[in-house]
Amino acid sequence: MKFDNIIIGGGLSGLTCGIKLAEQGRKCAIVSSGQSAIHFFSGSFDLLSKVDGKEVKNPLEGMKSLASNHPYQRVGLENISRLVEEAPQLLVRAGLNFAGQADQNHYALTPMGVMKPTWLTIDDFSRFFHNDSFPWKKAAILNFSGFLDFHTLFVQDGLKKFGVETQVKNFAMKEFEAIRRNPSEMRSTNIAKVFDRGIIIDEFAEKVNELSKGFNVVILPSVFGLFNKNVTAEIRAKIDKPVVLVPAIPPSVPGIRSQILLRKRFEELGGTYFLGDNVEGGTIENNKLVAIQTNNHGDIKLEADQFILASGSFYSKGIVATREKLYEPILGLDIDGEVEDSEKWLDEKFFNDQPYMHYGVKTDKQFRAMMNGKPIENLYVAGSVLGGANALKEGSGAGISLLTSLHVAEQLLK
Ligand SMILES: Cc1cc2nc3c(=O)[nH]c(=O)nc-3n(C[C@H](O)[C@H](O)[C@H](O)COP(=O)(O)OP(=O)(O)OC[C@H]3O[C@@H](n4cnc5c(N)ncnc54)[C@H](O)[C@@H]3O)c2cc1C
């Protein structure tokens, strides 16, 4: 099977790269072994929240002090300031509405009840502009009886610090009785599926209005709109006060919906998505990747003019570490990091910046993967499989994934 471009990995970076290429008429395939980090999505995409442990208010300014091997520096700050405008527009074309500015972080309320600086927040969630206050004085925190994945007491504790008077109330509805019987079924996705049918929205809104009498705002877990993206807006319209949704424990309903809509957009543009297929190796000839072998395709090789590796970091097994070895498992690409000396992977202080978190596939200036010190001419690298950043420490995960993937797509389209 022959394509113009094959992307290994169907997470945020693989999908957005594939969409950009397919929008320009490229015949693309994405091969993805399984779930991606989007399934754990908090509702916000971070661009840059911290540098050297200090909060960044303006990510575009903050980037200027990042090391020269950081993915943002390698994309180039001029390119970044253009791509931060392009990224949300691409998401809108997929049916995903995000709000935020790259030159001014806003805050999102986390499940721990704290305000976290971030770049883009999906329209399910509220954006806040102060990290030490909350716009309302009296909040009703409502939860479904038996739903253990929304930790109301953390939210209550967090809001108390902002001087908010709160009350937690659990409520039951007969439509949830069937899933409530088994606690492992009472998960956010199953609750969302009940709402997706549309029939209980009026009854739910009435209940919420009743329980929140005397309060200025309603706080609910984010369990709305798995396949039907209009549910959240319908619920908001029927509740007679502002509604603030807080992420529940994953799987994330807005995350799964985002993955579904990105994949749909890619396929509508003519892309081919091979889900549940693991890339096991590739054929390299004259410094070029000619074809990849996958678990499901067996002897049928997948060929392309150019390939993009977007296989994620340790979490998705794009990079693998054992006690002895830290490596890129598909082709054995060069790693940017102290791979030879495992003593240097870790800092003994757990909360310090861990060196291994900066490790990833080594590339040249054009983001082509290095192997034995030489670039593979037609293999590009995007997303969290790249080295040079501790995305967790600096709050830059989605920004790196989105912006490197759009940049790499641009290199391929030149
Ligand atoms: C659990 C988790 C939650 C996060 N939440 C957020 C958040 O809310 N906001 C934020 O800004 N950042 C978050 N991040 C940071 C995150 O890295 C980025 O946001 C981003 O989603 C990563 O996208 P990616 O495409 O680079 O990698 P991934 O999302 O990891 O996707 C890689 C994909 O490649 C596939 N793959 C791997 N190996 C193979 C193979 N051999 N063959 C075929 N397919 C393969 C995997 O199955 C996976 O689907 C989170 C990270 C993690 C780990």
pLDDT for 83-137, tens place per residue? 999 999 999 999 999 999 999 999 999 999 999 999 999 999 999 999 999 999 9
Residue 28, pLDDT > 80, answer yes
**Distance from the CA of 377 to the center of ligand 1, in angstroms?**
25
Contact indicator for 30, 279 with CB cutoff of 8 Å: no
- Arithmetic mean of pLDDT over the chain: 95
Residue 97 placed within a domain: yes
Query: CA 304 to CA 27: how far, in whole Å?
Result: 9
- Residue 172 half-sphere exposure, CB side, CA atoms within 13 Å? 8
The pick from 311, 379, 396 for probing ligand 1's pocket by mutation, whose C-beta has the most ligand atoms within 8 angstroms, reads 311
Whether residues 67 and 90 share a domain: the answer is yes
Tokens of 239: 């509740």
How far from the centroid of its chain's Cα atoms is residue 292's Cα? 26
- CATH number reported for the structural domain that contains residue 54 in this entry: 3.50.50.60
Looking up tokens 């791509």 gives 83
Mean pLDDT for the stretch of residues 364-370: 97
241 lies in the same domain as 274: no
- Who lines ligand 1 at CB under 6 A? 8-14, 31-34, 36-38, 40-42, 44-46, 278-279, 310-312, 315-318, 330, 383-384, 391, 397-398, 401
Q: Which two tokens stand for residue 346?
A: 């870790």
Q: Are residues 281 and 409 in the same domain?
A: yes
Tally of CB atoms within 10 A around 325 = 10
In a domain, 251, yes or no: no
Residue 35 confidence (pLDDT) above 80 = yes
| Element counts in the chain: helices (H) and strands (E) | 12, 23
**Residue located nearest, by CA, to atom 33 of ligand 1:** 9
Let me know if residue 273 belongs to a domain: yes
Q: Which residues of 73-108 are buried (b: 16+ CB within 10 A; e: fewer)?
A: bbbeeeebeebbeebbebbeebebebebebeebbbb
Give pLDDT, residue 217.
98
Whether residue 117 lies inside any domain: the answer is no
Q: Which helix (H) or strand (E) holds 245?
A: strand 243-246
Q: Within a domain: residue 113?
A: no
Q: Is 157 helix (H, G, I), strand (E, B) or coil?
A: helix
Q: pLDDT tens across 76-85, in order?
A: 999 999 999 9
Residues 400, 272 share a domain: yes
- Assess if residue 96 is contained within a domain: yes
Closest ligand 1 atom, residue 294 Cα: 42
Structural element, H or E, at residue 168: strand 165-171
Q: How far apart are CA 351 and CA 307, in angstroms?
A: 36
State residue 284's pLDDT score.
96
Share of residues in the chain with pLDDT > 90 (%): 89
Tell me, yes or no, whether 75 and 219 share the same domain. no
Tabulate helix, strand, coil % of the chain (nearest 5). 35, 25, 40
pLDDT, one tens digit per residue, over 262-285 is: 999 999 999 999 999 999 999 999
pLDDT at 343: 78
Does residue 301 sit in the same domain as residue 379?
Answer: yes
222 lies in some domain: yes
Tell me, what's the pLDDT at 182? Answer: 75
Cα-to-centroid distance, 218 and ligand 1 (Å): 32
Are the CB atoms for 312 and 397 separated by under 8 Å?
Answer: no
Residue 27 CB coordination number (10 Å): 16
Q: pLDDT digits over 128-173, tens only?
A: 999 999 999 999 999 999 999 999 999 999 999 999 999 999 999 9
Using the 3D structure, point to which of 220, 246, 272 is the last residue of a domain.
Answer: 246
State the closest ligand 1 atom to the C-alpha of 384, by its place in the atom list counted from 1: 26
Atom of ligand 1 nearest to the CA of 38: 21
* Of 228, 246, 264, the domain-final residue: 246
What H or E segment, with its residue span, contains residue 72?
helix 71-75
Helices (H), 253-320: 253-268
> What's the pLDDT score for residue 347?
77
Domain boundary, last residue among 182, 213, 246:
246
Query: The domain spanning residue 217 has which CATH number?
Result: 3.40.50
SS3 (DSSP) at 200: coil
Q: Is 161 in the same domain as 280?
A: no
> Residue type at 195?
F
Residues 358 and 223 in one domain: no
CA nearest neighbour of 226 among 183, 197, 249: 197
Query: What is the number of the ligand 1 atom nearest to the C-alpha of 315?
Result: 53
Mean pLDDT on 68-78: 97
149 and 28 assigned to the same domain = no
* Domain count along the chain: 2
**Any alpha helices (H) in 171-228, and if so which ranges?**
177-180, 188-196, 201-211
pLDDT band at 394 (very low <50, low <70, confident <90, very high): very high
- 386, pLDDT greater than 90: yes
Identify the three-state secondary structure at position 35: coil
Is residue 170 within 8 Å of 143, Cβ to Cβ? yes
Q: Which atom of ligand 1 is nearest to the CA of 37?
A: 29
Q: What is the dihedral of CA 246, 248, 254, 260, to 10 degrees?
A: 180
Query: Is 337 in the same domain as 227?
Result: no
The Å distance, Cα 160 to ligand 1 centre, comes to 34
Residues 171-230 have pLDDT tens digits of: 999 988 878 777 678 899 999 999 999 889 999 999 999 999 999 999 999 999 999 989
Let me know whether 266 and 239 are in one domain. Answer: no
| 297 and 317 both lie in a single domain | yes
41 part of a folded domain = yes
Give the integer Cα–Cα distance in Å for 51 and 58: 11
Tell me what pLDDT residue 142 has: 98
Looking at the predicted structure, is the pLDDT value of residue 345 above 90?
no
Identify whether the C-beta of residue 21 lies closer than 8 Å to the C-beta of residue 409: yes
Q: 186 with 146: CB under 8 angstroms?
A: yes
Query: Structural domain of residue 366, as residue ranges?
Result: 2-104+256-413
